[in-house]
Amino acid sequence: MAVELLDGFREDAGHREVASRGCGRVGFRVTVSPDRPVAGNLAIDEEMTRSAAERGLITLRLWWGGAPTVVLGSSEKIEQTVDVEACRRLGVDVVRRSTGGGTVLQTPGVLNYSLTGPAPGLPNMKTLFALGARILIGALAAFGLEGAARGISDVCVGDRKISGNAMAKRWGGLLLHGTLLLEMDLDLVEACLRHPPREPDYRGRRTHRDFLTSLRSLGVTAERSEVEAAVIASGVRLFEEGAMEGFPFIPEWVKG
């Protein structure tokens, strides 16, 4: 399939387009981006949000975390959530994203999705996070795992978190993005991240090691490409089944 690059979006020239739809002034596509530093992928999320507003384009994009990088939510205080000295000693970069939510550690074993589109006047946070959860829960089911939405924006298997999600309305666009842990170095998480100042009730003051899980920890041996395919299939299935009712920026032709 020919790849259409967004205007002013040449930095993602290596992305792979795997699905597309179109109707009138609105388009929908799914892409997988090549490996690059985490900061670069966060910048692309922002650029795609701007472009979505300008072009009426809805995109589900997948990308993998690169070299270990701590990512703070937009309003978090670094001294409360990050052991800066440990990060410096271990060579872990620290960056900030444009969306809210908590601090996370990105590594090559973390699959990220971003869903961008034109923003409505008043986005419904609950609806947005529910959509992200459904995409990930569908992907987990492909590996025989039962996922569930927990807290404000987490997805869990059992009582352990395997995904966190965040959103922002900016530049006339809407960005919803989140993670799916294929594998995670919990020693590095414990070294770099402090216990968060705020936590969902179901966490119950557990350490990162006792709170997080991953596909590998749950016995899934799938390759990266298979995990990508599961998320893509889940996302496309939701669009095609008309499961987006109430999702504010999805146009009627996508809702079916």
What does the pLDDT look like over 154-174, one tens digit per residue?
A: 999 999 999 999 998 887 888
Residue 231: inside a domain: yes
The answer to whether 231 and 136 have CB atoms below 8 angstroms apart is yes
Q: What is the mean pLDDT of the chain?
A: 84
Question: If you search the block for the tokens 């807290």, which residue do you land on?
Answer: 151
Q: What's 30's domain CATH number? A: 3.30.930.10
Residue 249: inside a domain: yes
Instruction: Indicate the number of domains in the chain.
Output: 1
Residue 42: inside a domain: yes
The answer to whether 106 and 65 have CB atoms below 8 angstroms apart is yes
Which range (16-25, 114-123, 188-197) has the least confidence?
16-25
Which range among 4-13, 91-100, 211-220 has the greatest average pLDDT?
211-220
Residue 105: inside a domain: yes
What does the pLDDT look like over 90-139, one tens digit per residue?
A: 999 999 999 989 999 999 999 999 998 887 666 678 888 888 999 999 99
Residue 23 has pLDDT above 50, yes or no: no
Give 108: exposed, middle or buried? Use CB within 10 Å, 0-12, 13-18, 19+.
Answer: middle
Residue 87: inside a domain: yes
Residue 5: inside a domain: no
Residue 4: inside a domain: no
Residue 39 has pLDDT above 90, yes or no: yes
Residue 3: inside a domain: no
Its domain, for residue 56, covers: 10-255
Residue 24: the pLDDT is 42
Contacts from 22-27 at CB under 8 Å and sequence distance 24+? Answer: 23/251, 23/253, 23/254, 24/253, 25/56, 26/56, 26/57, 26/58, 26/251, 26/253, 26/254, 27/55, 27/56, 27/57, 27/58
